Structure 1
Amino acid sequence: MAKHGKKYQEAAKLVNPDSFYEPLEALEAVKKTAVAKFDETVEVAVRLGVDPRKQDQAVRGVVVLPNGTGKSKRVLVFAKGEKAKEAEAAGADYVGDADMINKIQQGWFEFDVCVATPDMMSEVGKLGRLLGGKGLMPNPKAGTVTFDVTKAVQEIKAGKIEFRLDKAGQIHAPIGKVSFDADKLNENFRSLVEALLRAKPAAAKGVYLKSIAVSSTMGPSVRVNVQTFR
């Protein structure tokens, strides 16, 4: 079992591991227990009552956090002609077609999110192994394969995040930085949970939201009262 340093151990004493906190109270505790010298990310872990092995119980979606994530994402858009111009005007960091595809094939990955117009996907598909392995492949369900490149780029820049069920039946997602006001973190947190509730599969039976915990990158986990959302 991993050993924690003195700062972590002192921070952990500020949280009762057997208690369930209301959302705002939990986030205030996360801010108090952040021990690193950098601006830590506040993360949410949700255990869902679904079977990740069954396709009809998959949970995946996107949500635009009202207060952003605190991190500026570098956006690459695969587009041609007028759509390329739209992407540049919307604030995309990189825009191109064959030139960008070739650049990635050469090992360039200085971007965080990919957007592509549908007419580009036959070419972008050639990068499936390279982009897919890093979770960067454009996907219609995530809103990253679209002709509305202006909306896609602006939402990503504003704080759009994607969530996806992992093999353990959990969702992990960032909701901001510890430097955020607790109220703003709470708004982002509630937006995420509401998006998860909307994404509930019809095949899911029993209790859907089983447990929720919040923590900073280097801090202790704080359990949230799930009854608040039921």
Structure 2
Amino acid sequence: MRPNLTKDLIAFSETKLKRPISNKTRVFEILGVVITALGKFVFMDYLNWRLPFVVIAMISWFLYIFFRYKIEKGVIKYWGFRTDNFKKALKLMIPFSMVSLMLIFGIGYFQNTIKLTWHILPLLITYPIWGSVQQFLIIGLVAGNLNDLNSKKLSKSLIIVITSVLFSIVHFPSMWLMIGTFILALFYGYVYLKVKNIYVMGIFHGWLGALFYYIVVNQDPFQDVFLIFLN
């Protein structure tokens, strides 16, 4: 019988680590993601400190990644910051992204909200960075750690649903964003557990997310995040 692809991938990744990741570390990382998510409600939704929160969250997690890298260099590839399977991940993402684009523009057509401006261009460049951070946190650390726990295993389907619900809740109170991110996380969770590649997922997250904001949510993140400091 042909070995399961996901198990092979995990086994290959684990061989790149000098020592196995403990359950204590995995739980610590999941709690860190939950705390970051709670911070979103406080600093972004309540205090309206969107840009400072995003910058601080990114710097904090980049420092954590660097700290883990100094201890165990193989952890970067294990998490999915890799290019050797870029094309494989890309092939999985393109069909989903094409369908997503048709749905986004279809909803925008019926809502009469297809009103793109030059503001979207900076977001198409910068948002994939934040998208990669989100994919690393929600999909990589939550779904990845739940899948690789050294104790009793959860089914992959349950892991994907748990991750999708968490990703959706983080985008409360926008109903459109909650629905969109839930569907996105269902597919991204499947892709990640099959082919770990944060780069591809982050790029498409950023591009689709920027268009989703402008067309479906009918909101201008560039105005809300950047221009507010210039006015």
TM-score when normalising by structure 1: 0.26
Of Structure 1 and Structure 2, which has the larger fraction of its residues in strand?
A: 1
Of Structure 1 and Structure 2, which has the larger fraction of its residues in helix?
A: 2
Greater relative contact order (Cα < 8 A, sep 6+): 1
